[in-house]
Structures are given as C-alpha cells and as structure tokens.
Amino acid sequence: MADDPPWLTSISIWIERQARDYASKANRPDADEQELLETFEGYVDDLLGEFDPPRARRRAGVPVFAGLYRIAEKPPADEQGWRVPSVVLAALIAAELEFRGPLRLTARQNLLLATEYERRGAQLREFRLPRHAALAYQRAVALYRIAEDVDAADRCGLQLARARTSALPSGALRLVRDLSDALCGYGYRPFLLLFWVIVQLAVFTAIGIGIVGTHAYADTLYMSVTSFLNPAGLGDVQTLGRDTEALFAIETWFGSVSMSVFFALLVRKWFRM
C-alpha cells in the first residue's frame, strides 16, 4: 500500500484499527454472532460517515482497497493469536465501504469486488462465522447479477444457502435444509436429483425382487422402471403377485414427485440463464 494516495492510506489504516477492535469482540468464546453483525453494521456506518474520497479518476481495473484484499487472501498469524484474523475482517469492512460508499464502481470493479466477497465468504465459513459468510455471499450474488454472470451468481447462491443453514441451531428446520442440499443443492443443482432417482429405482427394484423372488428378475426390473414414470394397472402386476401392488403404487408417487421437482428446478435454471 506504499504507492496508494494519502486518502486511501488514511482510510485503510482506519479500517485496520476498526477491524482489530472488532476482532477482539468476534474472538470471544461467548460471542453471539447476530449481535456481532449488529456491531459490525455500526463500524461500517461510522466509516461511511467519514468516507469522502476525491472524485478524481481512479484506476478502473483494480478494486479500491486492493491492498487490504491482497493481505486477507493469505492472512498471517494474527498478532493476538485470534481464531478469526483481523485482516479478514478488515477486508470485509473494506468491501462494505466499496459496495455501499459514494464511489462509483466500473463494471470491472463490480466483478472484482464480487470475487473478493466470495473469497471472504469462504474464509468466514472456515472461521465458523456463518452469518458473516452469508452477508459476504449475499453481496457477491448481487454483484454477479449486475455483471450478468449467472453461473457465478448461482455458485454463490448455493454457498449463501449453506451458510444460512450453518447458522441455524440443530433441529428440524436445519435437518430439512440439509436434506434439500443433499437432494438438489437448494435448487441450484437440479441434475443432482437424477442421482437420487437412480437410487430410488435401485431400492424399489431390490424390494420387488425380495417380494417376488429372483425367478422373475426381468419382469420385476421392467415393472420397477416403468412404474416410476407411469402408474401400473392391476393387470400389469398380476403376474408378479398382489403383494407388489402397494410397492409399485408407492413407487409411482415417489416418481411423480421426484420428476415434477426435477423439471420445475430445471426450467427455473433455464429461465435464469
């Protein structure tokens, strides 16, 4: 940061001081992250109130606080031995100033800032600050959408959903969200659902063979595959025995729900492209 203009050096030093003070609170064992975020907003608001950069031309190809971001990429051992290095929090504060401040960013700077937010989100999740990570990913999604980078926006949207789930206490809601992640990546990975379709087919086929016996292996396999997409009639299952009627009826319901969700998510993804 030796080559930075005086105004940038001054605000960067102020950001670093605020980040060290905030890190002392964030690293307390009994710290509540939601309360921390409210404190974080206060730090950012204070800096925004004093942040009045000159309107002179700036380098359009680099972020405003590139020096702080560069240090945060590979944070050195913190001077206090803190779990969350202050340089990472300094980079997050700097990104908030750049995002919410009076500076008019170019398209290139928006894209670079989105990348920095994405990196901070990954670091903050690693440091067990999921709510802070969610804030970073939320900003990244917004900036990637401005840049019309749909794939990057979806990638950060998935990480945003995961960070929000990590912030939840253990319980039914978190279990449901974890299940959604495993089944289809919160809707961002619809093709993952096809893997679970194959698993369902394998399970229903195995149960059917267990009921009917291996002597009707081919017929059971055929009925299992076709019933998943098309309901089997009573005449279709007569050769396999009445014990399979309930099995293939249940399979049809699983198939209808699974494929309906898959196509709904697929269409949603296509329309976002």
Q: For 116-184, give the DSSP string.
A: HHHHHHHHHHHTT-HHHHHHHHHHHHHHHHHTT-HHHHHHHHHHHHHHHHHTSPSSHHHHHHHHHHHHH
CA neighbor of 252 nearest in space, from 236, 234, 228, 232: 228
59 backbone dihedrals φ, ψ, rounded to 5°: -70, 120
pTM recorded for the entire structure:
0.85
Which of 20-34, 47-61, 63-77, 180-194 is predicted least confidently?
47-61
More confident residue, 243 or 229: 229
Which of 69-73, 186-190, 193-197, 207-211 is predicted least confidently?
207-211
pLDDT digits 0-9 by tens, 36-88? 999 999 999 999 988 877 765 556 678 889 999 999 998 877 666 678 899 99
**Is the pLDDT assigned to residue 173 strictly greater than 90?**
yes
**Is the pLDDT assigned to residue 219 strictly greater than 90?**
no
Where do runs of H (alpha helix) occur along 2-85? 6-26, 33-50, 66-73
In the chain, where the domains are located = 6-187, 192-272
CA neighbor of 244 nearest in space, from 218, 209, 214, 215: 209
Q: Which pLDDT does position 53 carry in this prediction? A: 78
